[in-house]
Amino acid sequence: MLQIGIIGSGSIARNAHMPGYRAQKDAEVVAVCDVVPGRAAAFAQEFGIPRAYDSYQEMLAKESLDAVSVCTPNFAHHDTAIAALNAGLHVLCEKPIAMNATEAREMVAAAHRANKTLQIGLHWRFTSEAQLLRRMIVAGELGEIYYGEATCLRRRGIPSWGVFTQKELQGGGALIDIGVHTLDHTMWLMGNPRPVSVLGATYCKFGKRNDVVNPWGKWDTAKFNVDDMGIGMVRFENGATLVLRASWAANIEKEFSETRVLGTEGGASMQPLKIYKEMHQTLVDITPAYLPGVKPHIEEITHFLACVRGECPCLVVPEQVVDVQTVLDAVYQSSETGHEVVL
């Protein structure tokens, strides 16, 4: 029975990681910690976890763990994950990997030194649709993938809780919060070509206003210092390109998330999955008649524990995630300078 600790007891720990671990037969969460006094104890009581701590340092020192989930705000990912890796533990760290690519590379280096798994919580890779499309691309069904679109737009969905709107604690806003998912998802489907240049722009058009309708509640406009929308165009070493769009608030019909890839032998779009090809001198659209119903967060944790047991390599290759973070950093840099960033 694998012994698991959780670092940070907020909403992602409650709604994603705990259900994921509870679905496993060979792992149990035995400890939780949180820097907010009393919060870990309340979380432990709610979920029947034996022990609670007010610091990850104390938990790592006192517990005999196999792995931890890092569910802290972004600013704490780097130090917390490295401490766990140095203690000889496998780490599942929530997205984004870190505040910036420099921190991300240090985390990956620590994982290599410790010879432990560092998996980042990019659960979009674990949907049935993504798994099928990736298999088709690897098999050559779509030919050479030369273009991708990564889109995640909300009409109104600005987080009103936590520290999502504070740059010094999160590193960015919509781009780093939800843009990271769609960017990683699309780059992975494209085969993770190496990015070589990025042109981007970010906007804050809603976050400082007090008159914006937001079903998720009011946020502190005085503390809002991040982007509520970010866009970018990425060029890759193999000649492919990608367009990225992410927003917490946009005047569109409804929330819109889509991944699109174009290849020489076919194209595909997600949500739902459709394949577009030319076959036997005609144009055809292909939709799966059946896909297994899965819960991506549970699949993600199932895979992480398989990696911990040494049964398979990690699907979320950390070096690939560093490239994703590098692109996000470059979008912010390009927006600040007004110029393309060469990587």
pLDDT digit string, tens, across residues 218-263: 999 999 999 999 999 999 999 999 999 999 999 999 999 999 999 9
Same domain for 42 and 114, yes or no, is yes
pLDDT in tens, 123-176: 999 999 999 999 999 999 999 999 999 999 999 999 999 899 999 999 999 999
Q: Do 196 and 156 fall within a single domain?
A: yes
Mean of per-residue pLDDT scores for the chain: 97
Which of 100, 121, 142 is the last residue in one of the domains? 121
- Shared domain for 281 and 138, answered yes or no, is yes
| 302 inside domain | no
> 88, 121, 154: which is the final residue of a domain?
121
Q: Do 226 and 133 fall within a single domain?
A: yes
Last residue within a domain, chosen from 121, 151, 178: 121
The encoded tokens of residue 228 equal 């509520």
According to DSSP, the residues that pair with 234 across neighbouring strands are: 198, 242
Examine the domain organization and report whether 142 and 288 are in the same domain. Answer: yes
242 plus 113 within the same structural domain? no
Residues 110 and 152 grouped into a single domain = no
pLDDT (average), residues 58-81: 98
> pLDDT tens across 33-50, in order?
999 999 999 999 999 999
Of 299, 296, 302, 305, nearest in space to 117 by CA: 305
Residue 271 has pLDDT above 90, yes or no: no
Report which residue type is found at 25.
K
Angle at 44 between CA 39 and CA 50, to 5 degrees: 140
The answer to pTM > 0.85 is yes
Domain assignment present for 318:
no
Verify that 114 and 132 share a domain, yes or no: no
Total domains in the fold of the chain: 2
Residue 136 and residue 114 in one domain: no
Q: Would you say residue 33 lies in a domain? A: yes
59 in the same domain as 146: no
Q: Supply the CATH number for residue 53's domain.
A: 3.40.50.720
Q: Do the domain assignments include residue 276?
A: yes
CA distance 80 to 106: 12
Give the residue numbers spanning the domain of 108.
Answer: 2-121
